[in-house]
Structure 1
Amino acid sequence: MGDIQKLVIDGKSYVLLSEEDFEDLIDGLKADAIMARVAAGEETFPHELIKELSESDNPMRIYRKYRGMTVAQLAEAVGISQPHLSDIENNKKAGSVDVLMRIAKTLRVDLDDLVVWNQEDD
């Protein structure tokens, strides 16, 4: 951190620091907030998983495998048939919002994490 100057203008105290030091300070505060969430139990994902998700159009399969579940295990946990889940996972069927919400809950992810958004739809 560079030089920090203390100033008084119209009776109010101010601190003057470089823009780079200010940005470092903000980055540190954001990092502290993130680490506090992690310390409180918020789940983090490994880089390899994030990379795989970014390169795939099938996040459900990736999260299912990450959780160590087979199609049969996830289908049973969600309360649907294995072929139905397989069709949803392979984009042969869309799956109802209710079923997708149950899948997301079982995989411990947000519903948005399972949906691949088409950029042209925005």
Structure 2
Amino acid sequence: MKHIQFIEQNGHAAFAVVPIDIWNRVSKLVEDAEDIAAFDEAVQDADDFRIPAAVLDAELAGDHPVKAWRMYRRLTIDALAEAAGVSKPYVSQIENGKRKGGSDVFERLATALDVPVDALIDGDEAKS
């Protein structure tokens, strides 16, 4: 093995100076280990709710979250309205931004779409 220099502080090894070729090999392993640890921590802290790319793409394209989730779940407006116990025009007006909708309606829509209520509130509604 190549020469490694140890630097002591208070009688104990505190630092190791290694040749650059060893450092170049080891640094990649350290970076990989840090990435794995960060991923494991994120998974541990996760609430297990994920927004599918199709929903995110639809919202970024301008669709209301209710519409994005409804389309992702492959529901018609009629089916969603019936499952949530609200009228079809009400759902349509929410999706088109013509009506805000109350918290009770969003709770029923969230239940029908099997998502948290927060996933259905767009930025404008969250401000009001």
Q: Same fold (TM over 0.5)?
A: yes
Given candidates 77, 86, 89, the residue that maps to 1:71 is 77
1:22–1:53 Cα change, 3 Å = farther
Q: How does 1:13-28 map to 2 (within 5 A)?
A: 24-28=32-36
* Structure 2 residue identity aligned to 1:77: A
- For the aligned residue pairs, the C-alpha RMSD in angstroms reads 3.7
Hey, what does 1:92 align to over in structure 2?
98
> TM-score with structure 1 length normalisation?
0.64
Given candidates 40, 43, 57, the residue that maps to 1:32 is 40
The CA distance in 2 between the partners of 1:65 and 1:45, in whole Å, is: 13
Q: Which runs of 5+ in 1 are unaligned?
A: 1-6
The CA distance in 1 between the partners of 2:120 and 2:81, in whole Å, is: 15
Hey, what does 2:3 align to over in structure 1?
none
1:85–1:22 Cα change, 3 Å = same
The higher radius of gyration belongs to: 2
The CA distance in 2 between the partners of 1:106 and 1:15, in whole Å, is: 59
Using the TM superposition, give the Cα deviation of residue 46 of structure 1 relative to its aligned residue in structure 2, in angstroms. 4.1
State the number of aligned residues.
112
The percentage of aligned residue pairs carrying the same residue is: 30
